[in-house]
Structure 1
Amino acid sequence: MSNLYAITLILAFMALSEATIVLQNFTAKLELNDKTSNFELLGEQNSHSLAMCAAMCQGDCVFFGFNSQTKKCRTHKKVCSSTMTKEDGWRYYSHQSHSLPRPIPLDCKDLYEDDKACSGVYTIYPYGTITSPVRVYCDMTTMYGGWTTIQRRVTGSPSFDRDWSAYKNGFGSPEQDVWMYDITVVI
């Protein structure tokens, strides 16, 4: 957690002649500095300050980016670091409630709900203990994301012409071609 730090923003607004104080916790995503994205973009607005930008992160917004040089604010439902492009001046933040991962992700849906928005290979623990990790390919874009892939064909190798025991045990690699047996049922 050395590349993350938490900040608390206190936002004061005048609304119908009475001041409203809003306390929101955000975590800076330092690994996303000087990058920007259109992934799950909710909107882009002018913003004079980081506090004003944070206040724009409402409803479905979980991440926001603020560029102090251009005075722009971008609000996102999710961000995917592998889809981001380089653009100086941007700093990204996430709601504190979305910064704490689940103790053990049971499946790809748990990872998706922990703001893992990029499809790729992840480790899940379908049996609920850290002694049983399984590496799987997670599809985070199809039909709202969070799908654990049990069959994937990318290169056509290895051959899928196999006997029942191979399918029962699973074969291949989640990075390329894989047949994953049903990991939710012990055979």
Structure 2
Amino acid sequence: MEKQEFEYATFAGGCFWCMVKPFDELPGIIEVASGYTGGHVDNPSYEQVKTGETGHLEAVQITYDPNLFSYQRLLDLYWPQIDPTDDGGQFFDRGSQYCTAIFYHNEEQRILAERSKEQIEQNGRFKAPIVTKILPAATFYPAEEKHQKFYQKNPQAYKEERKVSGRDDFISTFWK
């Protein structure tokens, strides 16, 4: 029997509650976890990260089967979830902990991420510079259980968060 080989993709796109559903429950996606990465504090809590003082970004880490779902396809899903020109956070979530970034786990991911960013920069969709960072993957700390699959546990609050944040309006204006 062939050994199953899974890979990781890690994306920061503002509030992690809004970044799970677009990737979740697709064939080849094993798990989508909300969490924190890129900071200087071990095992940070949500309360610590939201202060912006730990250096972490709210992010999702996707465990996927590259034989069923390519990293390029993950990138193609990632970009339309964010405002890649906002260097102060995302939508109504302000602060460095809500900035966008692609954390690559290997050289192939880095190359594909850089190429996808160049395509976004060149396609003329945005007038402002693309500020989404492409960084080496750092330790990923899963968020507390109440933050995992928030869209399933709290569907009404999730829907309201997306609406009032301006995320859905932005996506429909710039990405549809």
TM over 0.5: no
Q: Which has the bigger relative contact order, CA under 8 A and spacing at least 6?
A: 2
More helix by share: 2
More strand by share: 1
TM category, shorter? under 0.3
Larger-gyration structure (1/2): 1
